[in-house]
Amino acid sequence: MSLRIAFFGQAAFGKDVLVRLIEAGHEIVGVYAPPEGKRPDPLAEEAASRGLPLIRPRAMRKKTGEPLAKRVEEYRALGAELNVLAFVTMILPSEVVDAPEHGSLCFHPSLLPKFRGGNALAWQIIQGETEAGVTVFRPDAGVDTGPIVVQKGPVPIQPKHTAATLYFEELYELGVDAMVEAVDHVDRGTAELRVQDESQASFQGLVGEEDARIDWSRPAAVIDRQIRGCDPQPGAHAGLAGARVRLFDAYLAEESSDGEPGTVVECRDGAARIAARGGSLWVGRARAEGGKVSAEEAGLVVGTRLD
């Protein structure tokens, strides 16, 4: 058996899920990828190389939330039996999400119902979660609230994981497998939908600049999680000589420190150790203006005080 699939996604994750579904014998009737940007999108490149119908809209809904009639009509013409949403950031109208015979399957990088929202990877680290996982669910009118089809995990969140390394080292392959498994269940008619337990639910919004602002009066362990959760985006930030500097590649130091919180007390191989309440943390790289450089190159030298 096989399904006619409309595929929505981006980046390497979208590409790998697409290839696996094609290898499984499914027919891809259309691929929705982000608009062209400065960097080529791996999913769009894969779809183009295979001669698949490639659609790259800037939006599927008006700012009022109403669907763009032209885009909906274009979608319906594909005749999809199932939508696969592989790390989609575009907001899709219900006229698309609910249209196929088998509805839609959506990927989320947490063990739902915990950590609903668009920055689940970051918040799991920031809030000190010890385990992570992935979920494939059937989207409904809520934000990541639909019934669960496949869930994989838990996997441990390590003390040095950033949002990026948690994703690529622990959740990426798990997520690809989960997406393919969920589609297979739908194809075979064996999908079991599990309603999410609202008593266990949590929702976190996008990580904004205020969430990323470092308060040096907080404990070192809390600041460490904040920096790692905001790595690579948006980058936890502090003040340095009247400018904003963003910190990356951080981890809790074994060394204790009696220095004033926010003060660089040691430098080693380009990294800077910064005192904080109840400990200190190493910061490997920083960005003030331009690209990331070593912490020392960014001006974090012994005696420097971050606001």
Start-to-end CA distance of the chain, whole Å, equals: 61
User: What's the predicted TM-score (pTM) here?
Assistant: 0.94
Contact between 263 and 252 (Cβ < 8 Å): no
- What stretch of H or E contains 18? helix 11-23
Return the pLDDT at 55.
97
CATH code at 4-200: 3.40.50.170
CATH architecture entry for 209-294 = Roll (3.10)
Walking along the chain (307 residues) 10 residues at a time, the average pLDDT comes out as 95 98 98 94 98 94 85 96 94 95 98 97 98 98 96 97 98 98 98 97 96 96 98 96 94 88 96 96 92 94 94
Return the pLDDT at 241.
87
Between CA 72 and CA 140 the distance in angstroms is: 18
**What is the three-class DSSP state of 67?**
strand
Listed in order, the ranges of the chain carrying CATH 3.40.50.170 are: 4-200
The residue written with tokens 């420190």 in the block is: 257
Strands (E), 54-145: 54-55, 82-86, 104-108, 131-137
- Check residue 243 and report its DSSP letter: E
Return the pLDDT at 258.
79
Return the pLDDT at 44.
98
Listed in order, the ranges of the chain carrying CATH 3.10.25.10 are: 209-294
